[in-house]
Amino acid sequence: MTTYVLTAIGNDRPGLVAALASAVDEHGGNWVDSQLALLAGKFAGIVQVDLPDDGVEDFLVALAALEDEVGLQVEASAAEPAAAADGAPSRALRLHLLGQDRTGMVREVTTALRSQGATIDGLRSWTREAPEGGGMLFEAEAELRLPGDRDEADVRDALETIAQELMVDLELDADD
């Protein structure tokens, strides 16, 4: 078996996911994991699939045909074998941020996380109108991984400094 990560994008319309799933299934593949979204009228997705080694070439040809068939551009990247764990423990954390929308928020928060050695395993963000005409709010949720040799309190301090500068509510909790 060979593992591929697919990235897909196209103008939203019914049947895009079905066409991609059919291509995977028709070539003996297994749909392992995915994250799919509609953003600004575009369908965008990332999918992990496992394929039998003897079906990979035909599968890649089928993916290229999806652009003409349904308007879905798909790029396939062979996954690297998982790196051997170095034995160092890590802790999972969950981050939630809410505040007035402004440019640079994601950059500042992710820079603070990087300075503490945190890895972002998942990030979802969105904007919405504040109640009673208070402008736009920016909200984000992230799943983080902190190396075992890093102190959660230091991460919290770094984020609280950013929260004060950005005037946002920021929560950091252990992801049980």
Taking the C-alpha atoms of residue 174 and residue 57, their distance in angstroms, rounded to an integer, is 43
Query: Which is nearest to 20 in space by CA: 41, 52, 47?
Result: 47
Cβ count near 16 (within 10 Å): 21
pLDDT tens for each residue of 85-144: 455 678 999 999 999 999 999 999 999 999 999 999 999 999 999 988 888 999 999 999
Taking the C-alpha atoms of residue 115 and residue 113, their distance in angstroms, rounded to an integer, is 5
Taking the C-alpha atoms of residue 176 and residue 173, their distance in angstroms, rounded to an integer, is 9
Taking the C-alpha atoms of residue 142 and residue 134, their distance in angstroms, rounded to an integer, is 25
pLDDT of residue 80: 84
Query: Which is nearest to 75 in space by CA: 83, 66, 86?
Result: 66
pTM of the model: 0.78
pLDDT tens for each residue of 41-87: 999 999 999 999 999 999 999 999 999 999 999 999 999 875 544 55
Q: Which domains does the chain have, with CATH numbers?
A: 2-78 (3.30.70.260), 90-174 (3.30.70.260)
pLDDT of residue 82: 58
